[in-house]
Amino acid sequence: MVILTLNCGSSSAKYQVYDWDNKDVLCVGVVERIGLEYSTIEQNSTGKKEYEARFSSPTHMEAIELILKMLVDPEYGCIRSLDEIGAVGHRVLHGGEYFKKSTLVTDEVIEKLKELIPLGPLHMPANIMGIEVARKLMPNVPQAIIMDTAWHQTMPAEAFMYAVPYSWYKDFNVRRYGFHGTSHLYCAKRAAVLLGKENKDTNVIILHIGNGASACAVKNGICIDTSMGLTPLEGLVMGSRSGDIDPAIVPYICKNLGVTVEEMDTILNKKSGLIGLCGKQDRRDVHQAADSGDKLAQLAIDMECHRIKKYIGAYAALLGRVDAVVFTAGVGEMGEHIRRGSLRGLESLGIVIDEAKNDLSHCRNAETCISADDSPVKIFVIPTDEELVMTEDAFALMNGTYDVHTNFHYTFEDPTYLNKARERGLVENLKKKPELQSIIVRPAVR
């Protein structure tokens, strides 16, 4: 049996097929430019040639139809029949206060999700459309939703409430929800494994740094605070999002530029952050520009690292004892300059980076340790695996064995767990950079 996971964005649909019996990834792919003049699809099935094509996809219906067709394609596909799909897991941005854990999809669930569209107007309509299309095309396959916000539902009120009129919370659900939950869940549990500790005894600070970025404080295995808020706009400096700002800036700029509140929302989400500061949002481009003498690019890097460092310090105060700092996601896994700038000067907190190890850690197929040998706090780089969390939740829901993460055991919590696809990729990485082996951390089997 295989599990299909779908992550439908406003103009994209990412997907993965996982062989549950053999615990291996069979296929990954993405459709982009949905709703534009043409769409593209890229699919990579294990042991097959990569498939790339342009096609017409006015809506997610055409995109998912092509995805299902390509999964069973004799030349490029990964399964013989769609009947092999036992469940579908859908990533959903916002669960509000309705959904505190993953759940099977019903008509009532979809109606509740539609009520949450105002909390995620850019993402929720696409998420819902993907679910509805998949249900229509695969009516007999159980469908599950996995919310980005669910992991953070353990935050205490003093962390998730805002100091605004309490009626805003009662009437409009204004509170901190947090995002990147599946990534934070995966990394928190993998960090516990690498430390040789039980989840309930583990305190870690997780930094999910990609185009979107968020920090998470994990105490005794559960989230107690996170940097993103009502929406994914709050917190760290991001590719095109401002992160934390003085709220008074909004009316001030609206008045001075003559822009509407809606236009200001677009500016803060799509024209701020790194791209607002230096005109570039890909960290590789920003880094290259800084190395070439671009002062604004260097300022953007310095500001991003400064903000991350502030959150590390704040979360260290909340946790009291920090077992590890974890970097993950595209930039966290590959941006050694961001890790370096964020961690320098934190020796008084027991966080000591080994810069040579940090420079070596540039790989998405291995878990590495980049802290100095005498650092009281470990520093891990853990490639995230949100799709695996979605897969396991979907399977357990279909099988009737699912529960909240504190009562549920994931396969990747086992010290003997191996990601087969990444192990294959790591072989190639080590051929090119054998010294990488020196910083790979393997859990001790308890």
Write the pLDDT tens digit of every residue in 347-374. 999 999 999 999 999 999 999 999 999 9
Band the pLDDT of 435: cuts 50, 70, 90: very high
> Minimal CA–CA distance to 75: which of 41, 37, 47?
47
Q: Quick one: average pLDDT of 292-321? A: 97
The torsion angles phi and psi of 27, rounded to 5 degrees, stand at -165, 145
Q: Right CATH number for 197-381 from 1.10.3720.10, 3.30.420.40, 1.10.760.10, 3.90.1150.10?
A: 3.30.420.40
Of 222, 216, 214, 204, nearest to 241 by C-alpha is: 214
Above 70 in pLDDT, residue 446?
no
Treating both helix axes as pointing N-terminal to C-terminal, what angle do 124-137 and 107-115 enclose, rounded to 10 degrees? 160
The sign one gets for the Cα dihedral 26, 67, 429, 204 is negative
- Residue 291 known to be catalytic: no
Picking from 24-33, 120-129, 308-317, 351-360, which range would have the lowest pLDDT averaged per residue?
120-129
Rounded to an integer, the average pLDDT of 171-177 is 95
pLDDT at position 261: 93
From 227, 194, 417, select the one nearest 323 (Cα to Cα).
194
Range 386-390, long-range pairs (CB < 8 A, 24+ positions):
386/91, 386/182, 386/183, 386/186, 387/5, 387/7, 387/16, 387/18, 387/25, 388/18, 388/186, 388/412, 388/419, 389/146, 389/182, 389/185, 389/186, 390/5, 390/89, 390/90, 390/91, 390/144, 390/146, 390/182
pLDDT score of 269 more than 60: yes
**Looking at residue 59, what is its pLDDT?**
87
Q: Beta-strand (E) ranges in 371-440?
A: 378-381
Q: What is the pLDDT of residue 119?
A: 87
| pLDDT score of 43 more than 80 | yes
Residue 399, Cβ neighbours under 10 Å: how many? 12
Mean pLDDT calculated for residue range 248-269: 95
pTM: 0.94
8 Å CB contact between 195 and 393: no
Q: Are 274 and 237 in contact (CB under 8 A)?
A: yes
Angle between helices 295-319 and 283-291 (to 10 degrees): 120
In this structure, are strands 324-328 and 378-381 parallel, antiparallel, or unpaired?
A: parallel
Whether domain 2-147 has CATH 3.90.1150.10: no
What pLDDT, on a 0 to 100 scale, did the predictor assign at position 445? 60
Please identify which of the residues 19, 148, 354, 393 carries the catalytic annotation: 148
Q: What pLDDT digit, counting tens, does each position of 67-96 carry?
A: 999 999 999 999 999 999 999 999 999 999
DSSP 117: G
Residue 9: which pLDDT band, with cuts at 50, 70 and 90? Answer: confident
- Residue ranges, CATH 3.30.420.40, the chain: 2-147, 197-381
